Amino acid sequence: MLTALVALTLAIPAVPPAELEQGYTLRIYEVNRELDRVARVAEDATPNIDRLEDRIDFKEVEDLVGPSGPRNQIAIEAIGFLQIDEPGPYVFELRCDDGGLLEIDGTRVVMHDGVHPPSPKEGEIELDRGLHPFRIDLFQNGGGAALILNWKRPGSGRYELVPATAFRVEKGVTRVVAPGAKVYKDGRENQRPGDGLPIEAAYPRFAVEKLRPEGFAPKIGGMAFLPDGRLVVSDFEPMNNGVLRAETNGTLYILSGVVGGTRETVKFEKLPGGYHDPCGIVCVDGDIYVSHRPGIDRLRDTDKDGVFETHEEWARPWIGDNYHHFSFGLKEKDRWIYGTLSTSIYFGNTIEKEGVEGELIGLNGPNPPHRGTLYRINVDTKEIEFTAGGFRTPNGVEVTADGRAFVTDNQGAWMPASKLNAVQSGRFYGHFNGRQKSRIYPEGGHASLFSENPPSPPAVWLPQNEIANSPTTPLAIREGPFAGQMWLAELTLGGINRVSLEEVAGELQGCAYRAGNGLEGGVQRLIEGPDGCLYAGSIGSGGNWNWRDTRFGLERLRPTEAKVFEIALVTATPDGLEVRFTEPVRGGAGADSWLRDPKNFTLRQWRYEATPHYGGPKIGDEEVEIVEAVPSKRGDAVVLRAPGIKAGRVVYLRTKPVSESGAEIWSTEAWYTMNAKPTAQSPARAYVARPIR
C-alpha cells in the first residue's frame, strides 16, 4: 500500500503553475465498499465532487460533502500549495474522522490511519519561505466525518487553524466531475494496468520515437503534413478559466526533417500570425487551413518556394463568444473540409459578467447558432453545410474513404459518458444547448441543430475513466492486423485505444479496446505520416484536462513486428458475443480447453441515460450469465452464448487467458455497445474503415 501512495504523490506539480489564486482543491470520490485504511483512488479518476475551498475546517460530514454529496464509503483529497512567509519548523495537527494522511513536499508529515472518531495527530516539518505542495488524503467509511488542519508556526506555543491566506492553487481550472464508483487502491482492488486500470506502458506494436528538438515544447492543437513532407503543428496555451480572451494564444510552426529524422535533426520554424485556440489543421493543394475560434484562416505559398507569404481570414461562418467555443478537426475529402464546433461552458464569473438568467445545470449555457455541430466547407466555393448537431465537445473528426464521418465527444451535460459517433446527415446526437437568456442573447440561446429529432445513439460508448475520459482523434487503420478498425487518441487518461465497428440493423455499433500509453502527454492529435508511421501530438492544461500533469509532446509511433497477445475483435451474435484473440489460447480447442469454461469469462451490462447534469451513472448494472462457451477449431476464438444480453446496453467483457506461447493477455477488458442485437436474418456485418489515401 505504501508503494501505491508514493506513486500517486505527483497529483500536484512540484513546480507551481504560473498563475495561482487563494484556496485549494477539495475532491470527493465515491468508492461504495467498506474502507478501513488510507489509500488513493486509481490514477486519472474523475472525482464525483470537485470544488475550490479556502479553509480546512470541516467538523461535520455535511460540511465536507455538501448538502447532496455522498456521506459514506468515500475518499477525499485536499491538494494545493502552502504559502510560507516565515521559514522554520512547523508542527501540523491533522484532526480527522476516519483515517487521514498529510504530505508536504512529497514527505509524509502526519499519518492518522484507521477507522476512528474525530481525534488529532501531529507531525513536524522544516519549511523554507515560498510555496510548498501539500496533499491530504482522507477516507470516510460511515457515520460522522471530520477534517481539520491546524499548525504551530515557528516559535509559537499554540495551535491555530491554517488560515485561508496560506493556501494557493492553480488559477481558474475547469472542475470536471463524473458520477459512479471509483477504484480505491488499498491493496484489495485486485487490479493491474490493463486489468481494471489504464495501461501504463507504450503499446509494443509501436516503437515510440521522440521528435521534439531542444527548446521546442509544443502544446499541440492540430497537425498536418505538407506535400513536401514537412509537418505543420499548431501550438497554444489552453486557459480553462471561463475568460474569453481578446488576445491570441496560438502559433503555427513548420517542422522539417520529421520523416526519417530524429529529434537532433528536426528543425522548427515559427510562422507569422496569431490564432485563438487553433485546434485543427489540414493541407489542401499545398495551402494550410487552420481552424480556430473565429473561423478558418488560410496560408498560401504562392510561388511554391516553401515560404508561406500570405495569411488570410479565409472563412468566418460561425460565432465564437465563449472561452469553450473551439473549432476542432480538420479532415478533407473531395475538396470538402470537415470540422466540428463545441458548445459553451459557463462558470460563476461568466454568468455574472454576461447576466445569464435562470438555472445552469452541468455548466451548460446559451450559445450562438450552429454550436455543437459537424460542418463541412467547400475549398473552392466556401459553401458551408452544417450536417449534424447535438455534440458537446467533439474534439476529433475522421472521414473515411466511403465518405462516412466519425466524431468523438466528451462527457458532460447531456453526455453520461464519452463516445464515438458514426455521423449521418440531419441527425441529432444528444446535447441540448442551453436556452437561457443573457445580455448577449436577450431572447435566449440558440437551440441545438436538429434537436427536433430523437437523439441518435453513439456507435461506441466509452465508459468514463475505464476506457476513456477525454477522447480526441479517431483514425482509420490502414495496415497491419487491425486494418479497417480505428485508433482512438485519448487526452486525460493518455495514450491510444482501438475501436472495431460492425453494422447491425442498418446502423454502426462496435467495441472499444485498450492499446497503450507511455507517451509524453495526453494525445490531442494523431495522424498518419507519408512514411506509414503515426505521429502523436500532446497537450495539457490545469484541472484534469491533462494526463498526469503533462502539458506537451510530439512523438513518432513506428510500427513494429512485435506480437501482442490481446483481444483482436469482439462481434455480436444473435445470442451473445464472439471473441477473437490475436493468438491461440493455451490448451487449444480440446474437450478440456480453457475456452470451454464459462467461468473464465465475465460479462456485465448497463445502459446510460442522458440528463442535463454533468455526466451520468451506469443504470441497471448487472452480471450476464454465460450459458455456454464454444471455442473455434484453432483455439483463437470463442463464442459466448449469453441470451440475457439486451439491446441498448454497453456489454463489458473481462477474460484473462494465456497464449500458447505463454504470454499473458495485454488487456483483459473490452466494451461492446449493443445498440441492436443481430438476428439470423440480419447478422452483424463488419464495417471496414478505410483511410482516404
Give me the architecture of the 567-687 domain, per CATH: Sandwich (2.60)
pLDDT in tens, 124-162: 999 999 999 999 999 999 888 999 999 999 999 899 999
Task: Report how far residue 639's alpha carbon sits from residue 596's, in angstroms, rounded to the nearest whole number.
Answer: 9
pLDDT, mean of residues 348-361: 89
DSSP 233-282: EEEE----SS---SS--EEEEEEES-TT--TTT-EEEEEEEEESS--EEE
Residue extents of the structural domains in the chain: 2-171, 206-559, 567-687
pLDDT in tens, 369-393: 999 999 999 999 999 999 999 999 9
Task: Report how far residue 650's alpha carbon sits from residue 538's, in angstroms, rounded to the nearest whole number.
Answer: 29
pLDDT in tens, 465-513: 899 999 999 999 999 999 999 999 999 999 999 999 999 999 999 999 9
Residue 193 pLDDT > 90? no
Of the pLDDT bands very low, low, confident and very high (cuts 50, 70, 90), residue 3 is very low
pLDDT, mean over the chain: 93
* 372, 387 Cβ separation under 8 angstroms: no
pLDDT in tens, 13-29: 556 777 899 999 999 99
Whole-angstrom CA distances from 380 to 183, 281, 318, 442 are 52, 17, 19, 37
Of the pLDDT bands very low, low, confident and very high (cuts 50, 70, 90), residue 9 is very low
Residue 285 pLDDT > 90? yes
What's residue 14's pLDDT?
57
Which alpha helices (DSSP H) does 362-433 contain, by range?
Answer: none
Q: For residue 626, give the amino acid letter.
A: I
Can 2-171 and 206-559 be said to share one CATH topology?
Answer: no
**C-alpha cell belonging to residue 538:** 500532446
pLDDT in tens, 215-252: 999 999 999 999 999 999 999 999 877 889 999 999 99
Residues 6+ apart with CB under 8 A from 650: 461, 463, 605, 606, 607, 608, 618, 671, 672, 673, 674
Of the pLDDT bands very low, low, confident and very high (cuts 50, 70, 90), residue 357 is very high
The DSSP secondary-structure symbol of 403 reads S
Fold of the CATH domain 206-559: Neuraminidase (2.120.10)
Distance of CA 200 to the CA centre of its chain: 15
Residue 441 pLDDT > 80? yes
Q: For residue 482, give the amino acid letter.
A: F
What's residue 491's pLDDT?
96
pLDDT, mean of residues 87-109: 96
**C-alpha cell belonging to residue 30:** 465515491
pLDDT in tens, 298-315: 999 999 999 999 999 999
To the question of domain 2-171 being in CATH 2.60.120.1560, the answer is yes
pTM attached to this predicted model: 0.86
